[in-house]
Amino acid sequence: MRNAAFGALFALSLTTIVAAEEIGASSAKFWSAPQVGALPYDAHGRLVRRGRDLITATYSHIGPDMPDPAQRFAGNNLACGNCHLDAGVKKFGLPLFGLAEDFPAYSARAGAEITLQGRINSCMTRSMNGRPLPVSSEPMRAIVAYIQFLSQGVRKGEKLSGLGAGTMPELDRAADPARGRDIYQSRCIGCHNIDGVGVQNSLPGLGAGYAFPPLWGSDSFNDGAGMARLITAANFIHSNMPDGVDYLHPRLAVDEAWDVAALMISKPRPLRAGLEKDYPDLLKKPIDAAYGPYADGFSEEQHKYGPYGPIRAKLKEIEKEKGEVKNPNSGR
């Protein structure tokens, strides 16, 4: 009994805070995600709470089914929190903590500096397949206030552990959607449903969000989204799926995660126009961007599914010749 309670507490703290042992329990630098519930109900407290609601129930506030067309910004019924897990505080669940001070930041995808608002809008137009939120709009101010709140006490340039989705070893073969189909049937279909369509929330009147979100099809993220890239998707799935798993207790083998991610990105989804203009500096294009052009002469197919070893080697060669910067594998 005591052990079970301790286990549950331990598991919770592992996913929601920076584990003490990683930074030394005695360190004064111990940082845990701030609690929204600790805020007073003043103007700032209300704005931060509203921001969290926008993350966890996006569809009910700026979704495609809003009665007022002016409030329809997202093009699908996902919630930001379907990917930014536990309202953005789960380690390796694409957390939104500790990063506000990093912006404005150079974006390889845009080929220019972008603000935090610009980064949010890139998820609005890709992951949410919608249109950008005006910078001074109330929902944008609320989301920014929430993300800033989650970065409280974190200095510019300080990197908390647990950001992103993880970096598991890569395969020396292409990831295989056909193998992924069997894994999907046995490990995912019970929640994400036949043909990846997901399962809608059951309570009427609270917006058309999902109990289990779609993984492909018309109400999913579009082909320009970070989750449409194999390395991001495979690591996210390995660190977080089946739902309830955390990065310390994965239930999928590494190759299973690669193959089921390959199945997901092989499926049809909304298309974003103009993707060929992303990453104007091709040497900074993430290796798993599934759309050309590329600097390295490898096919879209190999960029989409790997293996990545040969592409990395080639890029290194080109960089050496140019005496230039490294290819960062992140699409901020």
Q: Does 119 bind ligand HEC (CB under 6 A)?
A: yes
Report, in Å, the least distance between residue 83 CB and ligand HEC: 3
Distance of alpha carbon 186 from alpha carbon 261, whole angstroms: 14
Sign of CA dihedral 269, 132, 119, 283: positive
Inter-residue contact 227 to 85 (CB < 8 Å): no
Torsion of CA 148, 150, 156, 160, to 10 degrees: -160
Choose one: 34-42, 237-245, 265-273, 306-314; the region binding ligand HEC (CB under 6 A): 237-245
Q: Does 80 bind ligand HEC (CB under 6 A)?
A: yes
Choose one: 7-15, 208-216, 268-276, 305-313; the region binding ligand HEC (CB under 6 A): 208-216
Closer to ligand HEC by Cβ: residue 19 or 214? 214
Ramachandran angles phi, psi of 218, nearest 5°: -70, -25
Where do the DSSP E strands lie in 175-313?
Answer: 199-200, 210-212
Distance of alpha carbon 54 from alpha carbon 140, whole angstroms: 9
Q: Does 89 bind ligand HEC (CB under 6 A)?
A: no
Inter-residue contact 209 to 64 (CB < 8 Å): no
Choose one: 6-14, 171-179, 235-243, 319-327; the region binding ligand HEC (CB under 6 A): 235-243
Q: Does 188 bind ligand HEC (CB under 6 A)?
A: yes
Choose one: 20-28, 33-41, 233-241, 314-322; the region binding ligand HEC (CB under 6 A): 233-241
Closer to ligand HEC by Cβ: residue 89 or 315? 89
CB atoms within 10 A of CB 9: 10
Distance of alpha carbon 278 from alpha carbon 114, whole angstroms: 14
Q: Does 331 bind ligand HEC (CB under 6 A)?
A: yes
Q: Which residues bind ligand HEC (CB under 6 A)?
A: 58, 78, 80-85, 94, 96, 99, 119-120, 123-124, 127-128, 143, 147, 163, 187-188, 190-192, 212-215, 221, 225-227, 232-233, 236-237, 241-243, 252, 260, 264, 330-332
